[in-house]
Structure 1
C-alpha cells in the first residue's frame, strides 16, 4: 500500500501534504469522507506495532470523553479508531512496509525523504 490517511479539514495535514508533494503513485484518503476500514486499521496496526501508536491523545474526543482517566486496552484503541476518525494521529503515510505517523517534525522530515527516494 502507498497511501496517505489525512483529514481534509485539518490545516496541519494540508500543510504537511503540500510539504511532502507526494508523487501520484501515492493515493490520498480523507478519513472523514472515506472512513478507515477494519482491514486498513489491521494493516496500520501490523506496521506500527499497536493500535495505541495510531491513537492521538491530543484529539478533542479524547478530552471530551475523559479517556485519560480510563485504562485503555488495545481493543479500546481499535474501537475508537474505527468509530471516531478524529482520534487517528494524523497524517499517516504508508509506503509499502514503512509507516510514518503524526506531525512531529522528525517524522514529517523522514516521510518526505522516503517519499522522494
Structure 2
C-alpha cells in the first residue's frame, strides 16, 4: 500500500500522483499526518522534513521557528516538505528523479 501525504494544490504532489498507481492521497491540511508517521519521518529525515521555504514558515515568528520541529509540524502540517510518501513502511521525501525511479 502506498500513501502520499501532501497538498492537493501542490504541483510536486500532482506530478507524483500522475506517476504512482494505486495510491491513497491524504491532504495534510485537511487530514493531518498521523503522529507515528510524522515521528518516523522526522527520525528518518531530521530537519529536512521542515520546509523552511514555505509560506507558512515565513509567517512564523523567530520564537515559533525556534520550537522543536515535531511540535511545529503537528501544529502546522503544511510546514512539511512534500510529498511524503509511505510504501510498505518505507518513507520517501520529495519527488526527485531518485524517488521517482524507486517508486515509479
TM-score band w.r.t. shorter chain = 0.7 to 0.9
Q: What do you get for the CA RMSD once the two structures are aligned?
A: 2.3
Question: Matches of 2:103 and 2:75 in 1, distance apart?
Answer: 29
> Alignment length, in residue pairs?
104
Residue matched to 1:78? 70
Give secondary structure in 2 for the equivalent of 1:94. Answer: strand
Give unpaired runs (5+ residues) of structure 1.
Answer: none
Change over 3 Å in CA distance of 1:28–1:71 after alignment to 2: closer
Is the contact made by 2:20 and 2:103 (CA closer than 8 Å) also made in structure 1?
yes
CA distance in 2, matches of 1:63, 1:110: 29
Structure 2 gap segments, 5+ residues each = none
Using the size of structure 1 for normalisation, the TM-score is 0.72
Q: Is the 8 A contact 2:6 2:28 kept in 1?
A: yes
- Assess, with a 3 A threshold, how the Cα gap between structure 1 residues 17 and 64 changes in structure 2: closer, same or farther: same
